[in-house]
Amino acid sequence: MTALWIVIAIGCVTGVYTLVDAQFQLATPAVATASLAQSMSAYRQALMAYALANPSFQGAVSAAALSPYLATGTPSGPWLNYVTPNTSAAGSLIVVYATSGNAASALGGIEQLAAGSALAGIALNGNVMSPGNPLVPLPAAIAGAVPNGTPVWMAQAFQP
């Protein structure tokens, strides 16, 4: 009789665990994904402000140089950057990209924040690929350095 109760108890616990676990696993990454996407957006905004303040700068902006432009409490992320002045108009092209494929989970949030822009997506062989948009080439200086499958968000910082 005791063995029967043990088998029933284990069966109930397994059933509850299966049902509850399926619901909670889907909810947890959404918060992390949104946070990572917001982090990339804040980093991009700071990089745009830096590019506008330093219109002739070309290259990667160091964390120390970028820190005055980041809002207080902005979470850090696995982001790298590249800035290059435009050749045809006053301003700069900025690129924010991830250093790890682990940030790829933020892609949905990034595309939502970018409102479907062709400049936000994943890196694919030196291009930015986003749903429903043509490929956008990355600057030649970093095209080979951006790992395939990682989030990329480019922007134009135009001088007034």
Domains of the chain and CATH, by start: 33-158 (3.30.450)
CA 144/CA 68 separation, integer angstroms = 29
Say if residue 74's pLDDT is above 50. Answer: yes
**Model's pTM, two decimal places?**
0.76
Q: Which letter, b or e, does each residue of 46-64 get, where b requires 16 or more Cβ atoms within 10 Å of its Cβ?
A: bbbebbbeeeeeeebbeee
Say if residue 135's pLDDT is above 50. Answer: yes
Say if residue 111's pLDDT is above 70. Answer: yes
CA proximity to 37, closest of 137, 92, 114:
114
User: Residue 29: which pLDDT band, with cuts at 50, 70 and 90?
Assistant: very low
User: Residue 13: which pLDDT band, with cuts at 50, 70 and 90?
Assistant: low
Say if residue 25's pLDDT is above 50. Answer: no
